[in-house]
Amino acid sequence: LGAERQATYSPFLPISPTTGRVLYVPMKHVDARAGTITFDDEDGTETTLPVTGGHCKLQWKPDFGMRWYALGVDFEMFGKDHQTNQHVYDTICEILGGHAPEHYVYELFLDEVGQKISKSKGNGLTIDEWLTYASPESLALYMFQKPRVAKRLYFDVIPRAVDDYYAHVASYRGQDAAAAIENPAFHIHSGKVPVIDMPVTFGLLLNLASASNAHDVSVMWGYLTRRLPGETAATNPELDRLAAYAVRYFIDEVLPTKTFRAPTDKERAALQDLHGRFAGKEALEAKELQDIVYAVGNAHQFEPLRDWFGAIYQVLLGADQGPRFGSFVALYGVEETRKLIEDALAGKLLKG
């Protein structure tokens, strides 16, 4: 602090007895023995208040150490930006007769371009936004993994976190005690990991919502009940919850940026071939459908083969990537996919 600020500084911010507002004002007198501070209230009246009894709020730096002492905190996690002040917090706690807690410093969260998330910039993703499109458990997994590594926090990381969460829950049941305690699901659920039947991935549901232009979860269930016998919103409420998240995510985050492109001549020939090979294949499983997709890509000499899958998603779904296309076809329907290919080749998916 500079000399002028030092002369009036107090770790206590008085709360005006007339307006109830927290005041950032110079201290006219500090009586350490009486435990009071004197200042001019908002109306100019000289006022003396005790620093206890809810009459003051602490400045943020001393608040850490005081809170640790008052609440007996023995473990504290905080972001790397607080690390330089850690000794200040510790010292305050120890001056009061307490013991500084064990610390765990985690890295900062970044936006999609690697910049620090800032309230003033409005970049990155908030907790409330995450919970609009995915479960608290998926957010818990994202927070749990690699806390000492700077992580990017933006909308595109949500689908992966959701699917990773269900994968960890599914693997938990077959693990021995040593492996189970290393499973993030064990810690997310405090050792009481639920049994969840999730027959499809969130990524697949997002592509289904995109292809069907779903604006309501009932549209999703129209496809799900046909492809997943016995599954209903009543029998699998977790799937129903995930489908609702997928629709919301599609409407708010995918649809506004969804952009289709026309196929190149090579891609057009390959899509026509795929359309023909899918004819009469409604009974095939996802893996068999995926084999057909691979075969077409190889037959038309896409190198690397991921260029073929990229073309499929860009031309048919207006996306750059997605889950295994064979799984999507099995869920969306073979004939529905053939119709999607027809519309794409006819230019019906292009804007304007």
**What pLDDT score does 124 carry?**
76
Q: Which two tokens stand for residue 319?
A: 């996306």
CB 328 within 8 A of CB 210: no
d(CA 330, CA 321): 18
Taking only the tens place, the pLDDT of each residue in 251-288 is 999 899 889 999 999 999 999 999 999 999 999 999 99
CB 220 within 8 A of CB 205: yes
Taking only the tens place, the pLDDT of each residue in 11-20 is 899 999 999 9
- Which residue do the tokens 């997709």 mark? 293
Q: Is the pLDDT of residue 126 over 90?
A: no
**What pLDDT score does 263 carry?**
97
Global pTM reads 0.73
Q: Is the pLDDT of residue 352 over 60?
A: no
Q: Which of 102-106, 166-170, 340-344 has the lowest mean pLDDT?
A: 102-106
Average pLDDT value for the chain: 92
At the top level of CATH, which class does the domain 265-345 belong to? mainly alpha
Percent of the chain clearing pLDDT 90 (strictly above): 77
**What pLDDT score does 113 carry?**
84
Taking residues 188-198, report their average pLDDT: 95
pLDDT band at 123 (very low <50, low <70, confident <90, very high): confident
d(CA 280, CA 1): 78
pLDDT band at 90 (very low <50, low <70, confident <90, very high): very high
Phi–psi pair at 196, nearest 5 degrees: -125, 130
Taking only the tens place, the pLDDT of each residue in 8-50 is 778 899 999 999 999 988 889 999 999 999 999 999 999 999 9
pLDDT band at 323 (very low <50, low <70, confident <90, very high): confident
Q: Is the pLDDT of residue 119 over 90?
A: no
CB 317 within 8 A of CB 332: no
Per DSSP, the three-state class of 102 is: strand
**What pLDDT score does 16 carry?**
96
CB 133 within 8 A of CB 158: yes
Taking residues 63-73, report their average pLDDT: 94
Phi–psi pair at 80, nearest 5 degrees: -60, -30
Quick one: which of 345, 327, 202 has its CA closest to 260?
345
Cα–Cα distances in angstroms (integers) from residue 30 to residues 3, 14, 48, 63, 267, in the given order: 17, 12, 9, 18, 78
Give the residue extent of every domain in the chain.
3-58, 60-106, 202-257, 265-345
**What pLDDT score does 2 carry?**
75
**What pLDDT score does 1 carry?**
67
Q: Which of 71-75, 145-149, 169-173 has the lowest mean pLDDT?
A: 145-149
